[in-house]
Amino acid sequence: MRANVVRRPLFTWIGLTPAVGFYACAIYVAAFLPEDGYAPPLAIAAFTFFFWLLGWHSAIRFTATHLSVTNIVVTSTVEWSDVRRVIVHDGLGIELRDGRELGSIAFGGSLIGTFSGYPTYQTAYRTLQKARKKAQHRERHGGPVRVRWSIDWRRQLTAAAAIYGPLLLLLALRG
């Protein structure tokens, strides 16, 4: 089952723009600077990976049965039946049946949002509200809320390979 993804466009661009810049710097250092070893370009590429994690990987994903919130590395997953409501208060949040709240870095709180009512979050809010209403879940009245924390290592490993693979190839050809 393919997951739907909700991202905040401005936050995504704010994360991906420096990622591209750092990657261009890493390629430049690897290709054109004197042979100082592998460390400088690989260290610069680490910033590319970090900004990719922050801007693109950090998102809210959902299927017909589950909701996942990814913040940089850690993903919190709950069944829709454990979600009480989606709220926009001090950012976009997912309130669980037991009163806990899952928040997203991408949809975090801000002073401007507090005064303006978070107008840029309304599309994501409506999307999640609609998904929650359509969710296929078994009703569970009571019982503990089950939040599963995980690290999506496959997606992160793929991104690291896409970032470091060409860079290591360039460094190997240079040396």
- Give CA–CA dist 123/119, Å, rounded: 8
Alpha carbon 145 to its chain's center: 23
- Give CA–CA dist 67/62, Å, rounded: 4
Q: Where do we find the tokens 């709950």?
A: 78
pTM: 0.87
Span 89-132, pLDDT tens digits? 889 999 999 999 999 999 998 888 878 888 889 999 999 999 99
CA 39, 44, 49: angle at the middle one, nearest 5? 115
Comparison of pLDDT for 78 and 174, the residue scoring more: 78
- Which among 21, 161, 13, 15 has a CA at the least distance from the CA of 29? 21
